[in-house]
Amino acid sequence: MPETKAKSARPPEQTFEEIKYLKQLIEKKTPVCVKLADNEVVEGVVEYYDQRFIRITRTGAPNLFIFKHDIKYLFEAIK
């Protein structure tokens, strides 16, 4: 009887790593830089997030709600 190859398991559609990372940033109040789609960089602390946006709290500037589709990437600011 010929060997039948087992189907490769499909990777999960969502790993929830983004959620874990955002929760960690909020709990530790880690300063972050957010690079936006228009190449503007915003610095602050992630205070809140949901499925569509994050809230960045900034010192000396207005707090921002940023839609996730407008974010190129986010990284931790150097302390």
In a domain, 34, yes or no: yes
* CA-wise closest residue to 75 among 34, 22, 26, 18: 34
Confidence grade of residue 65 (pLDDT, cut at 50, 70, 90): very high
Domains: count for the chain? 1
The pLDDT of residue 31 is 97
In a domain, 15, yes or no: no
Q: Is the pLDDT of residue 48 over 80?
A: yes
Spatial separation of the C-alpha atoms in residues 6 and 57, rounded to whole Å:
50
What's the pTM value of the predicted model, to 2 decimals? 0.77
In a domain, 54, yes or no: yes
- Using CA atoms, how far residue 19 sits from 5, 16, 25, 40, 73, in Å, is 35, 5, 10, 24, 15
Supply the CATH number for residue 48's domain.
2.30.30.100
In a domain, 2, yes or no: no
In a domain, 67, yes or no: yes
In a domain, 18, yes or no: no
The pLDDT of residue 46 is 97
Domain of residue 35 covers 30-76
